[in-house]
Amino acid sequence: MPTNIRPMSSSQGAGRKRIILGVTGASGAWFARRTLAMLEADARVEEIHLVISGSGLRLLRDELDLEVSKSAEIPAALAGRPTPKTEYLLDSDIGASIASGSYAVDGMVVIPCTTGCLAQIAAGISDTLIERAADVCLKQSCKLILAVRDAPFNRIHLENMLRAQAAGIPVCLTVTHVDALVLARRGFNHSINYRSVVVLGTATLVEGGEKLDALHAFSEHVVPGRWDEARRPAEQELKATWILSLPLTEASAKVRSGPPEDEREDAGLPVWGGVVPIHLAAEPPIPDAHAGDAVPYAWPRVHDGRLGAP
């Protein structure tokens, strides 16, 4: 039976949230770091239960260069700041408090979430504490967010997402576009300029003529004019392709722009500081062995990372 259960009634109010944060081994340790830091800084959050899978611990070590051998030090190391609200739980401890429905929580987020973890949750399999806690959230109708990061997705991944959504899990889509490298005079202050958006909502499967229209629009956005030049999708190809529609009813965006933020004492160092812009650029096409005398793709349609007529 779970131990140390401290039930919370909903009467404790909006200012005393109890949140579970799961971290698995998909690329994106920075998202886990930012999420934990934001939860710690949020006055509405009273308690955070942090659970990291074995692959998640390897991820933190590889992507953030964190020392993960001492459990008590992991939360502060991950957040990059003191974490007085956070309790660290082992993913193998399926008898922990959050594994019981009698221990009330206000929500759970798994970020990053592997497609393997998604599959386990969608199938109702609870072999680990992260999976068990997610299963409890579904039973208790608590908000559960799975930030799946193992793109590109195949049909099985999408089916698991729809299965999880049918069980009550909203879809969370994250997109980040890097605009520049930001080089400071101290390595620690290096950064990137970026535009990032997170969309949360309920996705629906697009079928019939609307599906073909969506594929047409997608093709024209990526390779303008190619839809009219290439062979149309066959019926079997259409069946093997899923299109999901996600309404923009709940979304947030974050942008970082501008020069580096140097420490005052570093400003006079004889080290270059500034911004290195990054962009995509199309180049003249390279034909394959079967191109023959066919007219080459009009590559200027795609230029400087911006799609459309030049």
pLDDT band at 300; cut points 50, 70, 90: confident
- Residue 77 located in a structural domain: yes
Asked, for residue 64, whether it belongs to a domain, the answer is yes
Res. 282 pLDDT band, cuts 50 70 90: confident
Mean pLDDT, rounded, for 8-29: 76
State the average pLDDT for the chain.
87
What range defines the domain where residue 82 resides?
14-169
Q: What is the rounded CA–CA span in Å between residue 230 and residue 202? A: 33
Query: Does residue 9 carry a pLDDT above 50?
Result: no
Give how many domains the chain has, as a whole number: 1
| Secondary structure (DSSP) of 185-250 | SSGGG-EEEEEEEEEEE--EE--HHHHHHHHHHHHHHHSTTHHHHSPPPPHHHHHT---EE---SS
CATH number of the structural domain spanning residue 135: 3.40.50.1950
User: pLDDT confidence of 160, banded at 50, 70, 90?
Assistant: confident
pLDDT for res 303 = 60
pLDDT for the residue numbered 7: 37
Q: Would strands 251-256 and 244-245 be described as parallel, antiparallel, or unpaired? A: unpaired
Judge whether 310 lies within some domain: no
A 10 A CB-CB count for 105 gives 21
How many angstroms separate the CA atoms of 259 and 168, rounded? 43
CA 137 to chain centre: 20
107-117 pLDDT, tens digit per residue, is 999 999 999 99
In a domain? residue 245: no
The residues, any chain, with a CB within 8 Å of residue 209's CB and separated by 6 or more, are none
Please state which of the ranges 115-129, 164-178, 182-196 shows the lowest mean pLDDT.
Answer: 164-178
DSSP structure class, residue 10: G
Position 139 in a domain? yes
Geometric angle at alpha carbon 109, from 23 and 154, rounded to 5°: 75
Q: Does residue 128 lie in a domain region? A: yes
Residue 56 domain-assigned (yes or no): yes
Average pLDDT over residues 140-160: 83
Q: Would you tell me how many other CB atoms lie within 10 Å of the CB of residue 251?
A: 13
- Whether 259 is covered by a domain: the verdict is no
What is this structure's pTM?
0.62
Could you give the CA distance from residue 249 to residue 236 in angstroms, rounded to a whole number?
A: 33
